[in-house]
Amino acid sequence: MLSAKSLFREILDNDESFRLFCSIAASGESQGGWENARIAALVPPSERGFARKIARHGADEDKHGRIFNALMKKRGLEPVGVPPDTDYTMLLERHGIGLAHEKLRSDRPLTVRDIVTYLAHSRVTEQRASEQMRLLRKHFADHPDVGRAVKMISRDEDDHLAYCHEELLRFAYAGHGRAIQRTLRECALAEIRVYRDVSLAVMAHMGRVLGWPRPKAVALAAGIHAVYAYERAAGWRRMVSLRMPERRDALGGPATVAPEFA
């Protein structure tokens, strides 16, 4: 019987699939770190006080990338190139979601609208990241190799999601509510398509590495399509709601370090 736990365990127990999984994850986290660092450097003068939280977000993402690389190093593995069809971050950019890298590479200050776009994009993607890490924490919190990393990253992703809720509500109260809701909906609908495509690509690559029989590969693909159908019908709405988080100012302090990994 296929289950999330058995699937992840199979991936974690094989060096080649584990290396591919960690390489994809490390690349995405490192890219997120760069994006947040650039946004922090380009915030408009009216939001300079907000820059430290954006920088903290980026520092956390960089830390996660180092953790995934350290997990590979611990098993004597080297990172592999990330297949383009599994590059979640770049595929989102190609769909026009978030801030274009061309804009982030320039030295022109961002606008408040750009910051709202960044936060809406982050609120949607951090929802996905928080859910994925909670699933891994549920099944692998006590795993001897990845348990400690899973718990640390999961806590950070929950903080990132809380930060997005709080800051978007701040901008909504300042008069940007309609723009926020419109951008959230656009981001959510695009993200679920990209997530489906990336999930299919990752499972196809894992299937080749692990030698999955065709019936298993077909069943997994069908499951991914079923999740997309649910998200397209109604599930995307969880990504666009806003509520004040229980933990306020989640990114108000300095980034936590991970000396045992980095």
Q: Tell whether pTM > 0.85.
A: yes
DSSP for 136-148 reads: HHHHHTT-TTTHH
Instruction: With respect to residue 262, please indicate whether it lies within any of the assigned structural domains.
Output: no
Instruction: With respect to residue 198, please indicate whether it lies within any of the assigned structural domains.
Output: yes
- CATH number, domain with residue 184: 1.20.1260.10
Instruction: With respect to residue 108, please indicate whether it lies within any of the assigned structural domains.
Output: yes
Question: Residue 8: which domain range?
Answer: 4-239
Q: How far apart are CA 47 and CA 176, in angstroms?
A: 15
User: Helices 15-42 and 4-13, interaxial angle, to 10°?
Assistant: 100
Give the residue-averaged pLDDT of 14-25: 97
| 90 Cβ contact list (under 8 Å, min separation 6) | 31, 84
Q: What pLDDT, on the 0 to 100 scale, is given for residue 100?
A: 92
Instruction: With respect to residue 249, please indicate whether it lies within any of the assigned structural domains.
Output: no
- Phi, psi at 52, each rounded to 5°: -65, -30
Structurally, the chain folds into a number of domains equal to 1
Percent of the chain with pLDDT over 70: 96
User: Helices 147-171 and 51-74, interaxial angle, to 10°?
Assistant: 160
Instruction: With respect to residue 26, please indicate whether it lies within any of the assigned structural domains.
Output: yes
Q: Which contacts (CB < 8 Å, 24+ apart) does range 137-143 have? A: 139/4, 139/5, 139/8, 139/9, 140/8, 140/12, 143/12
- Phi, psi at 82, each rounded to 5°: -85, 120
Instruction: With respect to residue 229, please indicate whether it lies within any of the assigned structural domains.
Output: yes
Q: How far apart are CA 144 and CA 74, in angstroms?
A: 12
pLDDT tens-digit series, residues 147-158: 999 999 999 999
CB 64 within 8 A of CB 103: no
pLDDT tens-digit series, residues 101-144: 999 999 999 999 999 999 999 999 999 999 999 999 999 999 88
Q: What is the mean pLDDT of the chain?
A: 93
Instruction: With respect to residue 143, please indicate whether it lies within any of the assigned structural domains.
Output: yes
Instruction: With respect to residue 247, please indicate whether it lies within any of the assigned structural domains.
Output: no
